Amino acid sequence: MTIRDSSSTHANKVIVKPTDYPSWIMLRPDEITILAFQPGADTTVTFVAAIQEHAPVHTPQDLVLTVFSGTTQWSRTIDIQVDAPDHYQLLQNYPNPFNPTTTISYILPEDGKVTVKVYDLLGRQVTTLVDAIQTAGINSAILNSTNLSSGVYLYRMQSGKFSDIKKLVVMK
């Protein structure tokens, strides 16, 4: 963010901090202090952003940064939006091996029908974890192994023409 001081006086200890932003974005530092702000000059402040993996895709939201200078304050609103991934991907479950639960995550580049099914090594379906329309982005499902025996299983994710299979291990 670039701040312009249009006044004709020097300002000391100007504070810039995020005052309103979505919960899926993490900003560091929490605030930036400009010790000496020159009149009529531009000053750039940089916040580092980390986006949570389950941030909503294609949902425009605002990031409000507020500048405090003595008793004066003003805000600047920045539009932010997370783009959809550019490919499908089935991720390895974590933890693996596991007992009693594991998370199976997958990436969708567009909204669509998704199925995630678990099979034993003989190809028999053990359970269906997902069978629904889901939004683009990173999605996940939890597998509870309470009713499964120890051993190796396969899980398959399918969406549109994409399909992938991975192994998981239940240890009891």
Q: What is the CATH number of the domain that holds 31?
A: 2.60.40
Q: State whether 13 and 62 are in the same domain.
A: yes
- Residue environment code for 34-48, b if the CB has 16+ CB neighbours within 10 A, otherwise e: beebeeeeebebebe
Q: Residue 55 carries which DSSP code?
A: P
Q: State whether 96 and 72 are in the same domain.
A: no
Question: Which burial class, exposed, middle or buried, applies to 140 when counting CB atoms under 10 A from its CB (0-12, 13-18, 19+)?
Answer: middle
Averaged over 16-24, what is the pLDDT?
A: 90
Domain span including residue 156: 89-170
Q: State whether 93 and 66 are in the same domain.
A: no
Of 53, 80, 107, the domain-final residue: 80
> Residue 6 above 80 pLDDT?
no
User: Where residue 76 falls among pLDDT bands split at 50, 70, 90?
Assistant: confident
What proportions of the chain, in percent to the nearest 5, are helix, strand and coil?
Answer: 0, 60, 40
> Residue 5 above 60 pLDDT?
no
Q: State whether 74 and 95 are in the same domain.
A: no
Q: State whether 73 and 139 are in the same domain.
A: no
Q: State whether 74 and 115 are in the same domain.
A: no
User: Where residue 9 falls among pLDDT bands split at 50, 70, 90?
Assistant: low
